[in-house]
A and B are shown apart, each in its own frame.
Chain A
Amino acid sequence: WRAPASKQSERSARGRPASAAAPSTMQNRYTRLGETCYGKLDKISAELFTLTYGALVADLVRNYKDVDEVNGKLEQMGYNIGLRLIDEFLAKSGVPRCGSFRESAEIISRVGFKMFLNVTPEVGNWNEQGTSCTFALEDNPLEDFVELPSSAKGLKYCNLLCGVLRGALESVHLAVESEIVSDALMGDARTEIRLTLKHIIEDQTNEDYHDE
């Protein structure tokens, strides 16, 4: 178990082999951390949150005729939120450096999602290399009270979440792709987001920098 590194190095989670702790202990640790963090935060009615999001999506659908444009806009907005959310997440949770992408995924679910949305999506469907998994939301606060009309075919209602994941992880140097692969509003059993690690973003030094 590594002691929490300074904020600078916390921002880069390198893909190293998993730490010595067994998966279930790690999971329990993060579950407890998530619950503690959520407990300390101010709360607000989930319905206000859900309905405000609904009002936003409805407005987008009215203004952008093309469903793909709406999806793109939602993802972009999520991305902007992710960039801001990561600072708050790191500051309030104090999670240490991750040993692997598997660990990152557990932290996202048990601490990240828990802290903000008070849900813990199930992490699963890992690929062989351990670089891609799905987050299954049994009970998605964004989708309460929502029913999509047939004219909204192709609308990815929760695309904001995909953007949030992309923005937040990019800030800790993980370039990811996230997309909705299963949507409860479209008739599937539950909403699932697939998160795939593309590569680790190396620290970029300015091209003009010369070692004097």
Chain B
Amino acid sequence: AEQRESRSSRSALREMDIVARPLSQGQRQVSRSAFSLLFAELFQYCQQRVQDANGLEEKLKELGHSVGWRTLNLLVARNRPRKRDTSVVGILQFITTVCWRTFFGRETNSLQRSTQSECEYFIYENDPVPNLYISVPRELEGRLNCASFNAGLIRGWLDAAQFPATVRAVVPPSDKSGARNTTTVYVVRFEPSVLERERK
């Protein structure tokens, strides 16, 4: 009887217009393997459609962007409905804590401001999820970072929040120990209009 009840309430939900449905809690999970298998196949698909490593990163960013762009409202509505982030640091903190925690179950490792350029910020992440299961072919090593998908996500969120920027995923130069560096840095470069707005 319980199953029947939830079944009828689910079909009632489906009758409703998609944007009129109540907001889900977002607690649902799947195994990480499911995502990694899907991502690996997505990666192969992108690889077939582009000419070079750069194009591949751009394609991954594009896909990440479409995910991020669509979900900002959802994340804000669930987590911070009464407050809108209008400062650069505010939105970046929202992204590196709330958004990251919702999607990846953890926060990024650090957020820093560039000393060389006032419109650049660095977000450090150890072992980004997209990089966990893709082994980059040797000829592309150093030129391809699958975490470009995450870079796209960040850019998507920023775009939706009216903070136009470009985001790249880079691997910082490895330390002297020679161990493989699994940290990725997302370099966020805001457009000048954003900084002008900040100054006001």
Contacts and interface: CB of A to CB of B under 8 A. Distances in A.
Please determine whether chains A and B interact with each other in the same assembly: yes
Interface of A: 38, 41-49, 51-56, 58-60, 63, 77, 80-81, 84-85, 88, 115-118, 138-139, 141, 144-145, 147, 184, 189-190
A44 B24 contact: no
Question: On chain B, which size bracket covers the interface?
Answer: 35 or more
Contact of B102 (A45, A77, A141): A45
B26 interface: yes
A52 B35 contact: yes
A117 B26 CA distance: 15
B14 interface: yes
Contacts of A43: 29-32, 105
Interface in B107-121: none
B18 interface: yes
Contacts of A55: 63-64, 66-67
A44 B10 contact: no
Given A48-B103, A63-B49, A116 B30 contact: yes
Interface SS of A by simple majority: helix
B35 A141 contact: no
A56 B29 contact: no
A48 B67 contact: yes
A45 B34 CA distance: 11
Contacts of B26: 45, 47
A173 to B, nearest CB: 21
A86 to B, nearest CB: 11
Contact of A49 (B30, B41, B45, B70): B30
Interface string B18-36: 1000001010111111110
A49 B37 CA distance: 10
A80 B30 contact: no
Contact of A77 (B28, B33, B45): B45
Contact of B31 (A44, A51, A138): A44
B34 A80 contact: no
B31 A52 contact: no
B39 interface: yes
A56 B30 contact: no
Contacts of B34: 44, 49, 116-117
A45 B35 CA distance: 9
Nearest to A73: B45
B145 to A, nearest CB: 17
A80 B45 CA distance: 11
B40 A59 contact: no
A44 B49 contact: no
Given A84-B40, A147-B18, A48 B104 contact: yes
A190 B7 CA distance: 10
Contacts of A117: 30-31, 34
Nearest to B28: A46
Contact of A51 (B33, B45, B70): B70
Given A56-B42, A81-B41, A85-B37, A45 B103 contact: yes
A49 to B, nearest CB: 5
Contacts of A85: 33, 37
Interface in B45-80: 45, 49, 62-64, 66-67, 70-71
Nearest to B29: A43
Given A43-B105, A144-B24, A48 B35 contact: yes
B38 interface: yes
A41 B37 CA distance: 14
Given A44-B105, A80-B44, A116-B34, A58 B66 contact: yes
20 contacts: A43-B29, A43-B31, A45-B26, A46-B28, A47-B28, A48-B104, A52-B38, A52-B63, A53-B38, A54-B67, A59-B45, A59-B63, A84-B37, A88-B33, A117-B34, A118-B30, A118-B31, A138-B7, A145-B18, A190-B11
